[in-house]
Each structure stands twice: as structure tokens, then as C-alpha cells.
Chain A
């Protein structure tokens, strides 16, 4: 005997499409409510299947750099070698924070300041071996540095070295980086916590709508997370994370007879225009961990109009004033401070007034290494 149950109804394409649309809409709503981007950012092939990156991912041309510039801070840090390296007892762990010179623009990852510190055989005053991690990021903004410092403190450093230059200090430059604008919640948290002189309602700080938080709204961020993992395989295969051209336009030697610094004329700039409060917030955030602020080396021109300007970035009056204010503030606040502005000779700079050669990186590492060894 056979039993014939009801025959299955034929598949209705319209019903199928309708169900698919409803399910997709539901998934979007759930995604928007849960906001799993930070969690997804921490899921990473780096430090497991592929080695962690020697510096934070940044890419102007991802296909050649084998890297890109995601907005997810969690993903950036998860892809870094520091996320997979617990400090060992004999290690004196240093975090380097700064701009493109610290990150190592036009330098391979094994010739940056961090690499020079690691390969220099430096030891702390207690004999522990110096191990530096490159947490620089090629954007000139102290608020970006503070944001990264805030996140990276979980890696239990023994020392933080924060390399700064005047170009990163003007208050009106603090919120321009897209990385900050796409991490508006964290930036507002820092503004609120440390009373920073920045506007938490600045329109550049993104306020994602419900739609922006859906899968569709986050599609670029999701694609970036995925691409970052895939580029990890090429990073592992090639150890390349930046497409370095064989030739480049060298930093400007002959300068315009222009005495202005950004929007400031010779009498306009005052300490109030500079974000010393962000430096103070960094020191406060570091708490018991020593934080060394370094005025980073820069190129000093000997060419035309070098009596007016030091280089493309800085007129002499502005930079001299800045150095004076830095020294005064550091002294008044009790900050650890090194002014190394003229440490590297002009021949050791590459395409900009702050990008140095491997030789320049080693000279800077040597000076910082000496400071660490002295136990100051």
C-alpha cells in the first residue's frame, strides 16, 4: 500500500522573491539595531593565518599597496602585529604614535623608525630589550593620535613615544581626517572626557542614520573589512604594504617668499590656536605609563627664501614660536619632552620636509634609544 501525501505546491517565483526581499529587509533591520561592526572588525585572519602587519593599514592605491585605509579602528588594530604579541618579561614595549614620518612613508616596513629601534639593540635602563611597535598613521592631526593611543593602551606598553610637529597642532585641523569623522562616537567621547576644545557637534563628525547602519548602508565598511583580510594574504606573500615608487619629487629646496603658516599671518598665531590640550589629554590618558613627546625632525632648507621659511610647511617665525611654546608647556606641565627638530641632516629627507630616509630613521632611533637607556 502506498500513501500519497499532498503533492508539493510548485515553486512560485514571485513568492520566492517576496520572501527573499522580506528576509533581506529583516536582516538589515537586525544589523542596524545590533551594530556588529566593532565585533566584525575584531575578527581577523591577521596574527593567526597570516602575520600581523608591521604598521597600521593605509593605502592610497590598494591594488599596488596590498593595503587599504579602513575606517574601523578595531580592524586596523586587529591587523597589526601588536594584536598578536603579548609582552614578555624581557621586553621593554614602546608604542610609537605619530604621523606619516612615524608610519614610514616611502619606507618599507622594515626600515621605519620602529624597525630601527628594534634592530638597534637598545635596552631600557633596567636591561630589558626595547621592542617598538609602529602605531603611526599618515594623517597630521593630534586628535587622530589621541584616538589611537586610547585604543592601543590595552597592549600594555612600558613607554609611549608621541612624535609631533606643528602641522598636526592647529585646532582647526583636528577633525578633518575621515578616520575621525567615521568614528564620531569615540571622538565625542574623548572631547567629553578630557574637555577638549573641539566642537562635539561639528557637522563633519558623522551621525549615522538608521539607514546608514544597515547592511546596505555599511556595505563599504563591510567590503573594506573583507578586502583587508584578503590583502593580508598578499602582505604575507610579499611583505609589502606600500607601493614605493622608484623615483619621487624631492622635498622643496627653493621656497616661496610666503611668510604665512596655514591661515595665520606672522602676528596671528598664538598658543590658543594650537591643540596643547590634546597633548595634555594624551598624557592624562597614559596615566602611569610614561609618555615621551618628541618634536620630530624636519628638513631645513638652504635654498631660496630659506631666510623666511624653514621648509614647505613652516615659516621661521611660526616654527620658532611653536618650539618655544612646546618647551614652555612641557616644562610647566612636567611632560617628558625631546626637541629633535634639527637632528637629521637635510640630505636624509625624501619627498617632504618630515619624511626621512632609512639613515634618518636610524639617527632618530639612536637618539630615542639613548634617551630610553638613560632612564630619564
Chain B
């Protein structure tokens, strides 16, 4: 079993249930691969904690517990608070922070018997599209590298999660998606990831970036795995999260094997305009043809306000973030400046030292658009267009069952290429932002390779609560293709 690390969640579960391997042995093997922190994917590990969890999983298996995730390793984006590992959210301001409680998502995966390998790197407070904004460890923060080409970014903000799965450091990872932060790194790293409908997964214990957009989701090697993970992740958290949807917990694997005959796939022409690189366009079109060959119909649809989603998102998200980040003031937890003259100075120094440039930039934008006198022109206007974008999707869904298109206009770019140009980063989010604003579920699946043999991902967007359908389409595509089975050369 020398290729254990390349196996997916379902496959590992089968081995564990069959007692071909024990959870402790599996965890030990995975931990061994983390030496040297390949791709700078991890921010913290603790083998004692991991092995204790593995031991508990083995005990459950021994009693005949057949839960599908029991004993399978997972790693959590450092946006989720954990009682047993530090949580930094990628920021100096939380360096060394130990949460007294676990995020609900972490708790659910733990209850399912998964074994935590550690916490994964991410852009600071989930703000970024390249994982270059990670600011910890403060002595020497390291950008995460793309396992397919270490001179390139893995995507963000769940870059550590995507890289870890792609490099076979973990079969599963949690990520969060506010404007595309699961879908885009999944696409750039050639793995599968899904952002469920807003409100499906509990936000309790997710360090908040933009409350009306943040959503947790699984990242793994294939749709089948994502379905298993999503089912464990997504039960209502009515007692702790007021935005958690009160809907019955679902088995998201139930429709995986439905044939695609009769499926109407909407293709938004705005997603295929000039901005889309030809090396991305090619694999996407081929993938669409594949769906067609399986019995789906392609329908041309319009999402006319696609480009407006950029200013709308970059008004709303920073506005909410500027408020959410006010609690980082050096009073109750986290970093506090060493030298200061008075309270005002303490606040200023603490936050200026503790936050990175992109975070500060977004806080400033947020404060501006919420300012007295500007609220109507910016924030309110953005929320109105947001509704129009959501309505556009509903119009589109009258003609189709799922929407398909690119995740990003290009493949992963080189480290440092866009780090001085925040605006360029924002513009590259154009295809993922609309679904975020509307709160719709969205997936990314690998569909080929582009320039530099970098992975290309295709996005699938469904109507509210339609995750099972998205996973079905993805699974059927993956049964007919092999892109999801490819691993980067450097993954051995």
C-alpha cells in the first residue's frame, strides 16, 4: 500500500472498514509526509492530538461502527477554530491564539470520526486569491506553492487546503468560500471542491470575513468524496448560528449515479467573453461536449450583470469585514503591541502591526462605503444590484438545471505576478463572485490542463439546495474522464 496517500476518502474508508489498515497506522503514514511542510501547506500540526483521535477511531471501528468517514484523515483550513490546535486565520494578530471551543464544522467531522492532521494555510482572514497574503508564522511567513508547479500560486484563499489535497498530504480538507475561495484553488490545483448553498454549513467557529457570503465546504479528490464530506458537514446548527438554514440534513450521495440524460446545462455567454484565456476555454468546451455526449443539452443563457459582480462584491465583503475585524483590538485575545502611549495608541499599533496590507486595504474600503454620506451610494446600491444578480440566476434557472462555465479566466499564475496589483486579483474573481452574491451552491471539478500543464477547473452552479444535483453531474463526468485521478509529479 505504498500509494495510500493517493487514495480518496471513500477508498480509505473501505480499507479501514475492511481492517486492511488501522487509523493509527494511516495517520502515522500521513504525518510522516508532512515533514518539511511541503508547499508550506500546513500552519500547525500536533502528532499527539492526531494519534489520539486515530486511536479513538480505531476503537469505534472495533465495535463495528461503519460510519463512512471513520478513521479517515482530514485537515482544516486555519479559518476554523480548534481547541486542540492554534488558530491564526493566517494572521499575525491571532498568532498563538487558542480557541476554547471547536468550530461546528470541525466538531461534526470529529463526531464522524475523522482524524485531524493539522491546520492549513490560507490568505489572511480568507482575503485573497493566491494564498500570498498569509502572514504567519510572523518570523517568516511562507506563501503556499502549487504542487503542479511550485513557482505558481495554488489559488486562494483556501490555498493550503487545495495544495494539501493535490499533493496528497491529506485526502480531504475543509475550505471556506466567500467569493470563490474553494472553487478557484480547487481549479488551480486540479482537485474537486464544493461551496454549498449559503446557510447549509454552520458558520459558528469560522473566523468571520464577510458574514453574508462566507460558507464552509469540502475539498477532496473527487465528487464522491465531497458528497460524503458534505453530508457530515451540513446539518443545521440552529442553536448557535442564526443564519443556519433549518432544512433537513441530507445524504448528498443519493443522486450520484443518476444518468445525465435530459439534463439542461446553461452556458452563460458572459463567462466566455474575450477575457477568458484560450487555454482555459479549450478544456471547458471539451468538458461541455462530454456532458452533451452523456445526454445533456447545452442551453445558452445570459447572466448580464456578471462583470458588475466585481464592484458589488468588493463593496459588500469589505464592508462586512471592516466590522467583523473590529474585535481584533488587543484587549481580550490575540496580538497586542508591545509599546504604546495610551489606549488609542494601543489600538492603532496593535491593528497596524497585526493586520497585513490586503486586510488593511479592505478594512479601509469597508469603512468608507459604510460611512455616513456614502452608505446609499455604495453599500445600499451594491445590495440592490446583488438582488438583481440573484434574480438573473432565477431567470436563468427557468431554462436550465445547472449552469456550467469556467472557474477563473486563466490557470494559476506565477508567484508574485499579481501580488502588487490587488485590482488584478479582484478582476480574476469574475466568474465565482456571482454565485457567492446570490448564495447559490457552486462546484469546481478538474477538466483538463492549460498553459504550463496547469490544471483547468470547470464550475457548476446549481439553484438553492441543489448540491446533490451538482455532485451528480460532477460524478458522472468523473466516471467518464480521468482528470481527477491525475496527481502532480511532485506528489510522491
B is a partner of A: no
A interface, CB within 8 angstroms of B: none
B interface, CB within 8 angstroms of A: none
